[in-house]
Amino acid sequence: MTIEAQKLEVINKIALLQDTLLLARVKQILDKSDIQKSSSKLRQAGWGKGIFTYVADDFDDTPEGFEDYMPQK
């Protein structure tokens, strides 16, 4: 059976459903499938370029009171 034939069979069965709980479960499965498709996209390097337009001069300085947490040089 081809994928298209399987899809048509599932669609026909869904169209005949009378049980609202079962129909809600089918919808939940389909919605979950949509979320997985959208979250599986790979990240693209450089998407944040230009977001940070200013970095303070003391950015790399250790804030007062945090000296004990810094590695010893």
Give Cα 46 to chain centroid, integer Å: 19
Q: How far apart are CA 62 and CA 68, in angstroms?
A: 10
Entry pTM: 0.42
Beta strands in the chain (DSSP E): none
The pLDDT of 27-43, averaged and rounded, is 73
Q: pLDDT tens for residues 46-69?
A: 888 888 888 889 888 888 888 888
**What integer best gives the mean pLDDT of the chain?**
84
Instruction: Look at residue 5 in the predicted model and tell me its pLDDT.
Output: 93
Q: How far apart are CA 11 and CA 16, in angstroms?
A: 9
List C-alpha distances in Å: 12 to 3, 27, 55: 14, 15, 59
Residue 26 scores a pLDDT above 70: yes
Per-residue pLDDT band at 34 (split at 50, 70, 90): low
